[in-house]
Amino acid sequence: MIQVNGLTKDYGARRAIDNLSFDAEQGEIVGFLGPNGAGKTTTMRILTGYMPPTDGTAIVAGYDIVEESLEVRKRVGYLPETVPLYDDMTAVEYLKFMAELRRIPNADDRAFETLEMVNLAERANSYIGNFSKGMRQRVGLAQALIHRPEVIILDEPTIGLDPAQVVEIRNVIREIGKDRTVLLSTHILSEAQQICDRVLIINKGKIVAEDTPENLQSRLAGSQRVLLHVRGETDDLSAKVSKVKGVRDVETKDDGSVEFEFSAGQAVRPQVAKAVIQAGFDLLEMRPIGLSLEEIFLELTRENTGGKKAS
C-alpha cells in the first residue's frame, strides 16, 4: 500500500529527510516514532501529496506521489498535526464540504455516518469553534475517514488530549486499521506499543530502527531496571540486595528506595524478594522501570556510532 524508496527532502541547505525507505502493507498499523524535527511530518506531507520530495519516489495506494498526485490524494486520508478545521462551520457542514470536495454521493448521509464512527453524532450541528480539543481531534479524524480511504496518515493524532480521550482515539484508530493501512506518528512509546503492528524509529531524517514494538523493546531492554521500596530502616537494604546473584548497579535513592539492574531473562526478582523478606524488611513495592523514549534514542544513537547497524 505504501512503498517508499530513497525519499529525500531538503529545505534549503538543511536535509529534513535523508534517503528514507520503508513499506507498509494493507491492514497494517505502522508507527512513526521520533523526536520533534526528526522528519516525521515532512515524510507524511510528501506521502499525502502536500509537497514534492527533492529526490526518491513513493508509491501510495498504487500511484506515484509525484506523477499521479491527484490519484494518490483521492485514496489517502490525512490528519495533519494542526487539525485543519473551520471554526465557523458545524461539524456536519464541515464534513459535508469535505465529502463534496471528494465527490462522495449523498454527502449528508456520509457526514453523519462518519461522525458516528468517531462518536460525535450528537454534536453534529454544533459549531466546531465551540468544541473541546478532543472533539476537534475527532472531527479531524472524521475528515480523514470521510472517503473511506485505503491509506490513512495521521500526524500525532493523540497529542494534547486527556487520557480518556487518548484511549478513545486509539480505539477508533485500531478499529479503522483492521482493513486499511494506517501510518501514524507519535513520540509516545507506549502509544506505539499499544496500537502499532510495526514501529519505525526515525531520527535526523533517517530510520534508525524498524521492528515490532515487542522486539524493539526486548532488544533495547538488554538489561532491566527495577525499583524496590520497603518499610522501615533501609540502611543495609542495598547491601542485602547486592548480594543476590545477577544483581548489579545498585543505587539508593534519597527517599530510601533502591534501584537495581539485571540482565533480561534471568529470574532475579524472586530471589531479591526472598532476600529482602528474610532480612526482615516489609516489602512494599517492586516494579520494573521501563526505558523511556529518550533512553531508547540514546541507546540507538549509541548503537549507530558504535558501528553496529540497527535493524
Interacting residues toward other proteins by CB under 8 A: 11, 45, 48-52, 70, 73-74, 76, 78, 80, 82-86, 88, 97-98, 100-103, 143
Beta-carbon neighbour count of residue 61 at 10 Å? 19
For other proteins, give the closer residue by CB, 143 or 224: 143
**Measured from the CB of residue 80, what is the shortest distance to other proteins in angstroms?**
5
**Measured from the CB of residue 151, what is the shortest distance to other proteins in angstroms?**
12
For other proteins, give the closer residue by CB, 84 or 280: 84
**Measured from the CB of residue 127, what is the shortest distance to other proteins in angstroms?**
10
For other proteins, give the closer residue by CB, 12 or 307: 12
For other proteins, give the closer residue by CB, 73 or 138: 73
**Measured from the CB of residue 83, what is the shortest distance to other proteins in angstroms?**
7
CA–CA distance, 261 with 43 (Å, rounded to integer): 38
**Measured from the CB of residue 177, what is the shortest distance to other proteins in angstroms?**
20
The SS3 of residue 144 is: helix
CA–CA distance, 270 with 293 (Å, rounded to integer): 28
Q: At a CB cut-off of 8 Å and minimum separation 6, what does 193 contact? A: 213, 214, 217
For other proteins, give the closer residue by CB, 41 or 224: 41
Q: Phi first, then psi: what are they for 29, rounded to 5°?
A: -105, 115
Determine contact, residues 30/24, Cβ cutoff 8 Å. Answer: yes
CA–CA distance, 94 with 88 (Å, rounded to integer): 9
